Each structure stands twice: as C-alpha cells, then as structure tokens.
Amino acid sequence: MRQYVREVRRGCQPVESGEVILAANCGSRLLLAVPTRYVSYERLKQQRTASNQMDIAEIRDDFSFLDDWEDKYRYVIELGKKLPDLPDAERTERNKVRGCVSQVWLATRQNGDRLHFEGDSDALIVRGLVAILLAIYQDRTPKEILATDAREIFGDLGLKDHLTPQRSNGFVSMVDRIQSDAKAALAA
C-alpha cells in the first residue's frame, strides 16, 4: 500500500523519495512531514494521468485525499479540462441544459440497453461538474440511472456546501436532464 503524506505548508518544496514526501524545504528550514492519508492536489494530479474518463469511485477516492477546498476546486477544474470536447454539431438547442447560469450541453445516445453521454460547458468549474456527472451515469442502463442519486453523491463530496447556489442549481438541472433522458429511454 502506498504511503501518502501531507505537505507541510504552502510554498514549501517537497523533498521526495519515490512515492513518499519525506520533508518540506521551506527556505532556511527543513520541516519533517508526518505520514497521513492526505496528499496535495499537485501530487494527486501526477498520480492520475492514465485515463481521461474516471469512474465515481476514483473521484470519491481522490476527494478523500484532498483536504483543502482550494485543491478540490482545482481538481474539479482539472476533471473538466480532461473532458473530451463536444463536437460543434452537438452544441444545439436540443442538447442545451436549461436552468444553468453557464452554457451547458448534454448529448445522449442509446447504445443497446445503455445510455452514453457527452457534455460540455463554457465554464471550467461547470465542465468539471459535467465530468463528475458522466463518471456517475456513463454507460449505465436507464434503470440504473434512475436508481442513482447524484444529489447525494454531490453532497457526499462536499460540493453542495462549497459551490454557489447558482452552480448547485445548475448541477441539479443537469441531473434532471439525464434522468429525463433515462425515463424517455425506458418509455421507448
């Protein structure tokens, strides 16, 4: 099992040995690090470079390693940056999500009994929220989608308490849209 340590202070340079940060060099002082389960956003970013599409378990796991909300915001933005671009042909009124302050598009396709989503936004933080939603719902059956409470997951990640009410409402609008598409697929 890997060991993670918390970086001692902002602006300090970690002194590393393999996967473990041993100490932090803070100018004229060398501060020893105490092993914990936390890791900085920058360290976590280095560890998560293999895949653009993550599942919600990986995102939850990553959130548990980040103890600073500034790092969590950066992580959400990074998720959005990794999101594949939505083709211009999918940026239609039909795919636009109503109720979001930012522009958000969600395109839904049915592949057999599963729904596949593509999404995008003109705001980086919202793009990250789209990436989280895709991690929750991507390639699931309509029944699985309707049985999954993304609002609860949103709350578990702490996003509900740290985003503006407008962003939270936009997230709910995106969830409603995905669930509406799942209901339509079930009815078809």
Same domain flag for 31 and 92: no
- 146-183 pLDDT, tens digit per residue, is 999 999 999 899 888 888 888 888 999 999 999 999 99
Residues 70 and 127 in one domain: yes
Note whether 79 and 19 are same-domain residues: no
d(CA 32, CA 23): 4
pLDDT digits (tens, 9 = 90+) for 10-47: 444 554 444 444 444 444 444 444 343 344 445 444 44
Domain that holds residue 145: 50-187
Same domain? For 96 and 10 the reply is no
Q: What is the pLDDT of residues 101-156, one digit of tens each?
A: 899 999 999 999 999 999 999 999 999 999 999 999 999 999 999 999 999 999 89
Catalytic residue (choose from 24, 44, 97, 100): 100
Task: State whether 76 and 134 are in the same domain.
Answer: yes
What's the number of domains the chain is made of? Answer: 2
Residue 100 designated active-site: yes
Kindly state whether residues 12 and 95 are assigned to the same domain. Answer: no
- Selection from 107, 98, 122, 116 nearest residue 170 by Cα: 98
How many CB atoms within 10 Å of residue 25?
A: 13
Same domain, 32 and 65: no
Q: In terms of domains, do 17 and 58 share one?
A: no
Q: CA angle at residue 120 from 116 to 121, to 5 degrees?
A: 150
Q: Alpha carbon 41 to chain centroid distance?
A: 13
Considering the domain boundaries, does residue 45 fall inside one? no
CATH code of 84's domain: 3.90.1010.10
Same domain, 67 and 17: no
| Same-domain check for residues 65 and 25 | no
**For residue 151, is it within any domain?**
yes
